[in-house]
Structure 1
Amino acid sequence: MRKLFEESATVRAPVERVRALIDDGWAVRAFLGEDEAASSVDVDHRPGVAGFQGHWWYRGEISASPAPAGTTLTYRVFNIAERGAWAVPLANRLFIGYRTKVRDGVTALARRIEDHLR
């Protein structure tokens, strides 16, 4: 398993409240959408961390850690391909624009969490 991308955003809320949304599946559903979340396999769930996999190469993780301004929400993307890992960048058009998509995704999730917790 090789980490490809990692981006974080600050959530203005206590870490315990954010982790509760990760733990009960709300954050994954909000991030992926109801349909995609239902078709993803939750392969790893520890307190405050949810992992999900899809396609032949992708694993995503959402986690929360304490921060001075509330909580740091982190989204990581891993290449989990057992065979043909070298082909993952080619299959994904060399990931052009993907870092921006990852950053925008975690930022949008942070805002959704804040709105949900109000």
Structure 2
Amino acid sequence: MRPLFEASATVRAPIEQVRPLIDGDWVAGAFLGGEQARAYVEVDHRPGVIGFRGHWWYRGEISAEPAGDRTTLIYRVFNIARTSAWAVPLANRLFIGYRRTVRDGVDGLARRIEQHLAA
């Protein structure tokens, strides 16, 4: 796996409250949306990390690290293409604007987690 992008955001909640959302299905639903969107993505878990695999090249991982009384949420995107990995940037139009998409995605997820925990 080749790392392509990484972004992080702070969640105003301790890791003990955020981690169960990652280890369960809540983060997958909040990040991916409805069942139709999830039909095209494989979701897997390992303790503290939820992974999303889709298309022929994409793997995204969301994890969290303690940051005092808050949590740092981390979203990493990897190129997992087994062949023609060089074509991934071309197929994605050189990833123009993708870095912002990754950053916006993790920021939005952090805010949704805060709203969910406050409810």
| TM-score grouping bracket, smaller chain normalisation | over 0.9
Report runs of 4+ in structure 1 exceeding 3 Å deviation: none
Give the corresponding residue for 1:39. 40
Aligned length: 117
Question: Is 1:53 matched up with 2:53?
Answer: yes
Q: CA RMSD in A?
A: 1.0
| Paired letter, 1:105 | G
Contact 1:62 1:74 in 2 (8 A): yes
Question: What SS does structure 1 have at the residue aligned with 2:13?
Answer: coil
Shift of 1:38: 4.1
In structure 2, the gaps of 5 or more residues are none
**Deviation sequence 1:69-105 (CA, Å, 0-9, x none):** 5000000000000001000000000000000000001
Give the corresponding residue for 1:21. 21
Give the corresponding residue for 1:97. 97
Contact 2:43 2:52 in 1 (8 A): yes
CA distance in 1, matches of 2:39, 2:117: 23
CA distance in 1, matches of 2:17, 2:114: 10
TM-score normalised to structure 1 length: 0.94
